[in-house]
Amino acid sequence: MPDLGKYAGAILTSWAATLALVVLVIAVSWWQSARVKKKLEAAEARRKGS
């Protein structure tokens, strides 16, 4: 690991925040995808039933 000097705290905090935001975006995207898939399956089931 390179020597970050007096900026180590700020740099590591920035990396941690960035990583947390990327994980959050992935989680929200996955959640929305699952929700939309359920809605689509329900709509297709209603269409086949009528």
Contact 12, 4 (CB under 8 A): yes
Amino acid at 43: A
3-state secondary structure of 3: coil
Residue 34 has pLDDT above 90, yes or no: yes
Residue 8 has pLDDT above 70, yes or no: yes
Q: What is the pTM for the complete model shown?
A: 0.74
DSSP structure class, residue 4: -
pLDDT in the model for residue 37: 98
First-residue to last-residue Cα distance in the chain:
63
DSSP structure class, residue 8: H
pLDDT in the model for residue 50: 66
pLDDT in the model for residue 13: 97
pLDDT in the model for residue 49: 81
How many Å apart are CA 38 and CA 16, to the nearest integer? 33
